[in-house]
Amino acid sequence: MKNKYLVILIFFFLIISCHSRPKTPDTNIENKRDTLTLIAAGDNLFHDSVIRSHLVDQEKRVYDFSPIYTEIKNIAQRADISFINQETVMAGTRFGYSGFPLFNTPQSLAGTLVDTGFEIFNLANNHAMDMGTSGLYATLDFLDTIEGITVIGARKEGPSARIITKDDVKFGFLAYTFSLNGIALPRDNPNLVSMIVREKMTEEINDLRPLCDFLIVSMHWGAEYVLEPGKDQTDLAQFLAELNVDLIIGHHPHVLQRVDTITLPNGRKTVVFYSLGNFVSHQRERERIIGGIAVVNFNIKEMEISDVGMIPVVTHFDRNFRNTKIYPLSSYTNELLEEHALKNTGNGLSMDFFNTVTQRLKTTVYDTLP
């Protein structure tokens, strides 16, 4: 009888255990693809003008944001995992729709993002508490009704970590933000939004690391509008690398910053996208309308990141701040550029400027998803 229980115990342990970097190939690997691909988009930031220009039924207050994403929909849907930093809460009509400085976006946006192909929604950013505790609770309650998405960075209760499984490969996610713009977390729920606190991060990462094959951390960090990562970012990236994080997805500066690979003395590598820039916004400086979609390929035979790159994207909007649409840079034309609200405003917006930005990313630049 004791041997029977011992066999059951060993079997249970094998089922739940997941080594951080297994090197032994899966016995069923021949039935799987060699590579899984993750994409990640930066700040989805809905200003008043974005909201107003997508009102399609004023009487019923119906908004249609789907035209914004049509040009990148194929990219998001072809990826195995699609991440977006949802910069604004979706608390519902009773809070009133608003843009800067306290954002609240119509809830119909969530359905559009799902239809576009996004499944990982990060809420750990400095605007998470714009509508207060009740606004974030309302957002979380609403997102909880949508099938097929995983919300990271905020929760009403329970642990911070999330694990999703693709082809029997476990991807662990955590997310943190440096700020809530001075709005305090509720005393009865200090874990509502995950903050950049090294002691807490160490505990959560160490708990999650043995349970997943790849560990991904979303970081809302850095100084706004600065084109190079600051020491705070590089120090935190090193800290995360030493905790055996595989991939860091950075955002908040609203401009593109470079991509790095941190190699530890033992040879272990951590890929860092310091900032993906804006995805959607109506900010009015040329550096803030070119963002990037991170592309990360995971080799599931070797259980390692095999290659990384970025698809540069342009947020287009015309001189009336309408017709907002995200274009891969490779399909953005001179004709569209001439219609952009920022063209001919003396800020030097040009195709040459876009190409100069991509050259400083220090990563492979893709036209679309390889």
Contact 357, 363 (CB under 8 A): no
Instruction: Name the residue range of residue 169's domain.
Output: 28-365
Question: For the segment 186-241, what is each residue's pLDDT rounded down to a tens digit?
Answer: 999 999 999 999 999 999 999 999 999 999 999 999 999 999 999 999 999 999 99
In a domain, 182, yes or no: yes
In a domain, 18, yes or no: no
Token couple for 119: 């499944």
User: C-alpha distances in angstroms, 143 versus 92, 118, 120, 155?
Assistant: 11, 13, 11, 11
In a domain, 14, yes or no: no
Q: What is the CA radius of gyration of the chain?
A: 21
292 φ, ψ (degrees, to nearest 5): -150, 145
In a domain, 13, yes or no: no
Question: For the segment 146-172, what is each residue's pLDDT rounded down to a tens digit?
Answer: 999 999 999 999 999 999 999 999 999
Single-letter residue type at 265: P
Which pLDDT does position 187 carry in this prediction?
A: 96
What average pLDDT does range 4-15 have in this prediction? 39
Token couple for 109: 């946006």
Question: For the segment 293-314, what is each residue's pLDDT rounded down to a tens digit?
Answer: 999 999 999 999 999 999 999 9
Three-class secondary structure assignment of the chain? CHHHHHHHHHHHHHHHCCCCCCCCCCCCHHHCCCEEEEEEEEEECCCHHHHHCCEEECCCCEECCHHHHCCCHHHHHHCCEEEEEECCCCCCHHHCCECCCCCECCCHHHHHHHHHCCCEEECCCCCCCCCHHHHHHHHHHHHCCCCCCEEECECCCCCCCEEEEECCEEEEEEEEECCCCCCCCCCCCCCCECECCHHHHHHHHHHHHHHCCEEEEEEECCCCCCCCCCHHHHHHHHHHHHCCCCEEEEECCCCECCEEEEECCCCCEEEEECCECEEECCCCCHHHCEEEEEEEEEECCCCEEEEEEEEEEEEECECCCCCCEEEEHHHCCHHHHHHECCCCCCCCCCHHHHHHHHHCCCCEECCCCC
In a domain, 370, yes or no: no
Which pLDDT does position 12 carry in this prediction?
A: 40
What is the distance between the alpha carbons of residues 93 and 109, in angstroms, rounded to a whole number?
A: 13
> What's the CA dihedral at 199, 205, 207, 208 to 10 degrees?
160
What average pLDDT does range 97-107 have in this prediction? 98
Statement: the pTM of the whole predicted model exceeds 0.75: yes
In a domain, 20, yes or no: no
The pLDDT mean for the chain works out to: 92
In a domain, 237, yes or no: yes
In a domain, 221, yes or no: yes
114 φ, ψ (degrees, to nearest 5): -65, -45
* Number of domains the chain is built from: 1
Say which CATH number the domain at 303 has.
3.60.21.10
**Percent of the chain surpassing pLDDT 90:** 88
182 φ, ψ (degrees, to nearest 5): 85, 0
Which pLDDT does position 348 carry in this prediction?
A: 87
- 20-24, 105-109, 148-152, 316-320: least confidently modelled range: 20-24
- Tell which residue, 64, 181, 192, has the closest CA to residue 127: 181
Q: Which residue is it, tokens 């807490």?
A: 200
Question: For the segment 265-291, what is each residue's pLDDT rounded down to a tens digit?
Answer: 999 999 999 999 999 999 999 999 999
